[in-house]
Each structure stands twice: as structure tokens, then as C-alpha cells.
Amino acid sequence: IRKAFIESGVPIGNIPSALLMLASFHHNRSIDQVLSHDHGLINITDRYFLSTLAYQGIVETNGKFDVSLRHIDIIEKMAALTSLPMPDITFYLDVDENVAVERIKTGRSEPLTRFEQPEFLRLARKIYHMFPDRYFSIDASQPAEVVKTQVIDKLNEQFGI
């Protein structure tokens, strides 16, 4: 549904977008929990609840981005009402917005989206930093192999994998 909105060019607000993301998370997580439980698998997802807070917690007014504590509060309340399952561990790959933009530009030829603008990414990072107790942070400015090793080490430490 979200993709259809994006492709149609019809603007979708932050709160409706967050509702769509939460519904998707809840649906997918429910399916994944059944599969993981039945088969003893570990479920790994990207861009789960904290990214929804970070990205839908930013509003744009007159071409300027800003953090909306009201939106963050609404999204958290919506998540609580849906009994959204929370992950056992969350990794936040922390990187400066300018490094992120350069990596995006290197990886593809399409123009940057609204969510990939340096100022937007700076504010998303600021929101992540508001919730340091909810994730394990990794300095993603390091080489990919170092980041990968840190993720694996933390998984081993926490789950004995």
C-alpha cells in the first residue's frame, strides 16, 4: 500500500505512514514468530519499530525538517495499542549523515529521496540517540567487515549463537 502511494505521487502523512508500517510489522512479525517457533529459527529484520520512530518522527514544514516529539509520542502509543512484538535485540548502525549520503550515491544512480537528504538523516540520527537503551550501537563508519564482526560477536554474547 505504501509503495502504491509513493508511486502515485499522492502525499501520505507521517502518522498514516507510521500506521501502515506498524500494521506491516505486526503482520510480518506474527508470521515470522510462528515460523521461528515451529522450526527453531532466528528472525532477523531490518528497519523495525525504532526506524519508524526516527523517520516518521520528522516533519517537514515549508521545506525545512524538524523533530516532532508529538509524532514520536503518537507512534509509541499506536505501537502499544497494537501489542507490537519487540525484538530481543536491535542494532543501530550509527554513521554520520554525510557518509550515509555518499554511500547511497555510490550504490545507485537514482536521486536521493526525501528520507535520504542530509538534514533528514541528521534528525533521524538525533531521534535514535534519544533512545540509547533500546539498541546496541555500532559505529558504521568502520569497514563493513568490522561492523559484521561486531554484530556477530554481540549475537554470540547475547544468544550463544
3-state SS track over 50-87: HHHHHHHCEEEECCEEEECHHHHHHHHHHHHHCCCCCC
Q: Is residue 22 pLDDT above 70, yes or no?
A: no
**Spatial CB neighbours of 52, under 8 Å, sequence gap ≥ 6:** 18, 21, 22, 25, 75
Is the full-model pTM beyond 0.85? no
- Could you tell me which of 9, 100, 102, 93 has the C-alpha nearest to residue 51? 93
For cell 554525510, the residue is 98
Tell me: the pLDDT tens digits for 97-146? Answer: 999 999 999 988 888 988 899 999 999 999 999 999 989 999 999 999 99
Tell me: the pLDDT tens digits for 70-88? Answer: 888 888 887 787 766 677 7
- Cα dihedral: 114, 117, 121, 122 (round 10): -130
Q: Taking all residues of the chain, what is their mean pLDDT, rounded to a whole number?
A: 81
